[in-house]
């Protein structure tokens, strides 16, 4: 089993705390975003992959209406009752991810579950690295609790439940990318998502490549309003294009780069800069799909470099540390492409690499980063892996 040590640790903790083995264990991976940045809530296209690190959620039904959550990695616990399930405002705010998922799995009426549950969860996704540890926890929670309570829902519905938990309990207005990537991942493949139709397909990458995640030491944080302000700018821009273009426009998905050039005049400078990023990203994802069909990984990688420049210059969701990593990657022949991953503002960069040169790539990037910042980034080779499942 992948991540056997993490599984063993979570199950052992469950037995220690609750005196018996868990009835159900579910696993969900984190994700890397490969191309298509901030396009999900603009109803656009994204390439992502489930990664080979994730979260286990071990659970058994309770005999009463009590809900008990134990975070193995934090060595912390939280208790409530079915009738009192609500957003945790202070203290154990980590509980909001599983609590919110449980709440919406039961359609906002957790009391109708009848009996509570006791659970332990833990994982090995580096926190604050932009690898979506929160979505992995939500999807593992959703799969495990759906099994415990006999609830049957398809993968996309479970992904939307996790997203709603993130919006309402965690307070982050994320798109559906993270949860869908965790659910639909497949070994050796990218997940191509169309967020208009919520259609998810896998596209093979071939065995000769891998990704390297380079985690900067710039803390990744999205709930501070930077994400929300950019989303608002995209929505405002879509309204502008709906007025000036002679075709239906509901989201930036409906606007081409040529139309942006011709009709951006009615936007203020910031709105125009924010809008061009997802418009360009959609076009890059569609180009990338055609390149992968031909097996042209170097041209696909060039699109990743272009994507990062767009983040740096237009969307302004990069930072100096991420730019240093990408600039270093450009000087290494065995790196085909590189860009920030996830929401940005810190976290990690995603590099498309020749895995046989992994040690060399890590050493060169570490040296260049250390020369600027005095500390070292964390480099790890990532293999696209299978999505969430019951263990």
How many whole angstroms separate alpha carbon 170 and alpha carbon 228? 14
Give the Cβ contact number of residue 246 at 10 Å.
5
How many whole angstroms separate alpha carbon 205 and alpha carbon 190? 7
Handedness of CA 303, 309, 315, 320 (dihedral sign): positive
User: Which one of 73, 178, 282, 306 is the catalytic residue?
Assistant: 178
Place of tokens 């910042």: 373
Tokens of 259: 């139309």
DSSP code of residue 170: I
| 8 part of the active site | no
Question: Smallest Cα–Cα separation from 36: which of 271, 341, 324, 259?
Answer: 341
How many whole angstroms separate alpha carbon 382 and alpha carbon 352? 10
**Vertex 172: Cα angle to 282 and 90 (nearest 5):** 165
Q: Where are the alpha helices (DSSP H) in the chain?
A: 4-18, 96-105, 133-148, 155-165, 177-184, 226-244, 257-263, 269-294, 297-310, 320-330, 358-373
Q: How many residues in the chain? A: 391
Q: Which residues are catalytic?
A: 178
């Amino acid at each position: 089993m992948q991540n056997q040590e993490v599984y063993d640790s979570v199950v052992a903790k469950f037995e220690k705390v609750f005196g018996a083995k868990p009835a159900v264990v579910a696993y969900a991976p984190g994700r890397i975003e490969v191309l298509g940045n901030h396009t999900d809530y603009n109803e656009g296209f994204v390439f992502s992959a489930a990664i080979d690190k994730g979260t286990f959620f071990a659970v058994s039904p309770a005999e009463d209406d009590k809900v008990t959550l134990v975070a193995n990695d934090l060595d912390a616990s939280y208790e409530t009752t079915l009738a009192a399930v609500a957003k945790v405002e202070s203290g154990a705010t980590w509980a909001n991810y599983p609590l919110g998922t449980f709440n919406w799995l039961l359609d906002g009426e957790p009391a109708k579950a009848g009996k509570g549950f006791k659970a332990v969860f833990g994982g090995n996704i580096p926190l604050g690295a932009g690898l979506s540890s929160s979505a992995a926890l939500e999807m593992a929670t959703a799969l495990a609790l759906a099994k415990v309570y006999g609830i049957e829902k398809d993968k996309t519905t479970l992904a939307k439940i996790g997203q709603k938990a993130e919006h309402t309990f965690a307070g982050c207005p994320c798109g559906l990318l993270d949860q869908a990537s965790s659910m639909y991942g497949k070994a050796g493949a990218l997940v191509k998502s169309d967020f208009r139709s919520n259609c998810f397909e896998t596209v093979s990458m071939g065995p000769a490549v891998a990704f390297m995640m380079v985690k900067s030491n710039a803390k990744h944080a999205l709930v501070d309003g930077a994400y929300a302000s950019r989303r608002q700018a995209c929505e405002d821009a879509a309204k502008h294009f709906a007025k000036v273009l002679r075709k239906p426009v509901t989201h930036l998905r409906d606007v081409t780069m040529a139309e942006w050039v011709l009709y951006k005049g009615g936007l203020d400078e910031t709105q125009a800069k924010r809008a061009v990023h997802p418009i360009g990203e959609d076009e890059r994802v569609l180009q990338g799909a055609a390149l992968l069909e031909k097996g042209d990984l170097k041209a696909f990688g060039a699109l990743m470099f272009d994507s990062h420049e767009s983040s740096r210059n237009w969307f302004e969701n990069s930072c100096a540390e991420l730019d240093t990593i990408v600039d270093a990657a450009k000087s290494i022949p065995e790196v085909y492409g590189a860009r920030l991953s996830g929401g940005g503002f810190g976290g990690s960069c995603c590099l498309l690499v020749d895995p046989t040169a992994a040690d060399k790539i890590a050493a060169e990037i570490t040296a260049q980063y250390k020369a600027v910042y005095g500390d070292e980034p964390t480099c790890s080779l990532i293999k696209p892996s299978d999505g969430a499942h019951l263990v």
